[in-house]
Amino acid sequence: MTHSSMAISYEDLPEELVLEIISWLPAKAIPKFKYANHDILSLVTSQSYLSQKQSHNSFLKNDPCFFLHSDTCQRYSATTEFHHFSSVEKSSSGVSHNFLDFLKNYPSCRIMASSNGLILGRSTKCNGEIELFISNPATKSWLPIPTPDYLKENLNFDINIAFECNNQDSHSNDYMLFRFEAPDEWPYIMSYNIEDGGSRMIRVPKEARRNSHDFSCKMGIYKWGKARNSDESICLVRLRKCVFTVWVLVDYEASKWRRILKIRVKEILGIKEEDPIIVRGFKVINGDYLVFATQKKVYGYGLGCKIYMKLQKICEHQFDHDGDKVCFTSYSDTLRSCGDGATTLPLMQQSY
């Protein structure tokens, strides 16, 4: 018996299948793919729904990259670095040097948040005018959005804001912005139902409240679980005296939490870092990955079942001043639209 091999070319594949394959690629890789074949280039540029399909598929995967920037007053620009969680993703995902130059050169520009390939940015111009904008680094597009009155009246006001793209509908380009007011008493969590406007307080664990006013105590609330699974929730991370403690909300109605980790930073790092160890910033990214920065390095520590308590050195950073705090903003490059009225990002302008 003989076996014959049959090669399948692009022309043999249905158009729908080709688009499906392309839609699972990162936005940075799609130009390389389409330039390899003129017919593919024509197909990609003629299908407007590819951007929606690709951004929706990206939402089902982990963010492969992150911005690391200084945690300073929002009125001023922030030094920004860009890194990948893994070297494998460097060739296919990322942002251009032009976009990083834009962040550096545009007046007092800084990243506030990111969701599904879009960046929420803030700029303070020389005349004191505050500008908020949505930008897509992959498509080099942006859309200025209205600045709230309270922000116009106080240039030094730092806003706590959440930015979330609508990913329930693969044909929607909607996104939402939420502003949070700093509470007089901490810690507490308020939940808000967008549909009916109802709100309620969620009690935090007693252990988290204990010594929460200590100067060394830092806490953050982050998404928990994967978007493609049914176990989505929130987690609370506390760092006090170089000890990480993590709780996951398991019962919303009863405000019931489950502690999944309590460990000293020294125990996590072992001999990788010399004393004194200073944690300059932390965040839970991709639903189960605790990322934190020390004096010179960035590490990832697994919280989920498959990666639990596994340590990875991600990169080294260039923030030289030991006392400076840093922030993380995860990022995934997509073709998602910034919205109606978006224009080309002013990358190459010399004056603003």
Residue 202: pLDDT band with limits 50, 70, 90: confident
- Looking at residue 316, its pLDDT comes to 94
Look at residue 350 and tell me whether its pLDDT is greater than 50. Answer: no
The mean-pLDDT minimum among 182-186, 258-262, 321-325 falls in 182-186
Residues 36 and 117 in one domain: no
Length of the chain: 352
Q: Does residue 223 lie in a domain region?
A: yes
| DSSP alpha helix (H) spans, 60-143 | 97-105
Q: Does residue 104 lie in a domain region?
A: yes
User: Averaged over 101-113, what is the pLDDT?
Assistant: 89
Overall domain count for the chain: 2
Look at residue 184 and tell me whether its pLDDT is greater than 90. Answer: no
Q: Does residue 182 lie in a domain region?
A: yes
Q: Does residue 94 lie in a domain region?
A: yes
Q: Does residue 343 lie in a domain region?
A: no
Q: Does residue 110 lie in a domain region?
A: yes
Residues 42 and 62 in one domain: no
The mean-pLDDT minimum among 65-74, 135-144, 262-271 falls in 65-74
Give the closest residue to 285 by CA, choosing from 225, 341, 336: 225
Phi, psi of 38 (to 5 degrees): -65, -35
Residues 246 and 177 in one domain: yes
Strands (E), the chain: 65-70, 80-84, 109-115, 118-124, 130-136, 141-145, 160-165, 175-180, 189-192, 199-202, 218-224, 233-240, 243-251, 256-264, 281-285, 289-293, 297-302, 311-316, 326-331, 343-344
User: Averaged over 266-281, what is the pLDDT?
Assistant: 89
Give the closest residue to 334 by CA, choosing from 17, 99, 30: 30
Residues 43 and 141 in one domain: no
- Looking at residue 281, its pLDDT comes to 95
Residues 179 and 300 in one domain: yes
Is residue 117 within 8 Å of residue 58, measured between CB atoms?
A: yes
Residue 35: pLDDT band with limits 50, 70, 90: low
Give the closest residue to 40 by CA, choosing from 17, 56, 68: 17
> pTM for the full model?
0.86
Highest mean pLDDT (candidates 71-85, 187-201, 224-238, 298-312) = 298-312
Residues 62 and 43 in one domain: no
Residues 27 and 104 in one domain: no
Residues 160 and 39 in one domain: no
Is residue 350 within 8 Å of residue 102, measured between CB atoms?
A: no
Residues 32 and 107 in one domain: no
User: Averaged over 8-31, what is the pLDDT?
Assistant: 77
User: Averaged over 10-36, what is the pLDDT?
Assistant: 75
Residue 272: pLDDT band with limits 50, 70, 90: confident
Give the list of residues 6+ apart from residue 8 with CB closer than 8 angstroms, or none: none
Q: Does residue 175 lie in a domain region?
A: yes
Residue 38: pLDDT band with limits 50, 70, 90: low
- Looking at residue 238, its pLDDT comes to 96
Look at residue 216 and tell me whether its pLDDT is greater than 60. Answer: yes
Q: What is the residue whose two structure tokens read 């200590």?
A: 214
* C-alpha pair distances (Å), 131 with each of 52, 74, 123, 126: 27, 12, 5, 11
- Looking at residue 250, its pLDDT comes to 93
Residues 160 and 305 in one domain: yes
Look at residue 348 and tell me whether its pLDDT is greater than 70. Answer: no
Look at residue 308 and tell me whether its pLDDT is greater than 80. Answer: yes
Highest mean pLDDT (candidates 9-13, 183-187, 212-216, 320-324) = 212-216
Residues 99 and 236 in one domain: yes
Residues 124 and 20 in one domain: no
The mean-pLDDT minimum among 2-11, 81-90, 274-283, 328-337 falls in 2-11
Answer positive or negative: Cα dihedral of 278, 221, 133, 44. positive
Q: Does residue 131 lie in a domain region?
A: yes
- Looking at residue 43, its pLDDT comes to 62
Look at residue 181 and tell me whether its pLDDT is greater than 50. Answer: yes
> For residue 187, is the peptide bond before it cis, meaning its omega torsion is within 30 degrees of 0?
yes
pLDDT in tens, 133-170: 999 999 899 999 988 887 777 777 777 788 888 776 65
Can you tell me the distance from the alpha carbon of 78 to that of 109, in angstroms, rounded to the nearest whole number?
Answer: 7
Q: Please provide the average confidence, as pLDDT, over all residues in the chain.
A: 83
Residue 173: pLDDT band with limits 50, 70, 90: confident
> Which residue segment(s) compose the domain that 33 sits in?
10-47
Can you tell me the distance from the alpha carbon of 167 to that of 338, in angstroms, rounded to the nearest whole number?
Answer: 14
Q: What percent of the chain has pLDDT over 70?
A: 84
User: Averaged over 191-212, what is the pLDDT?
Assistant: 81
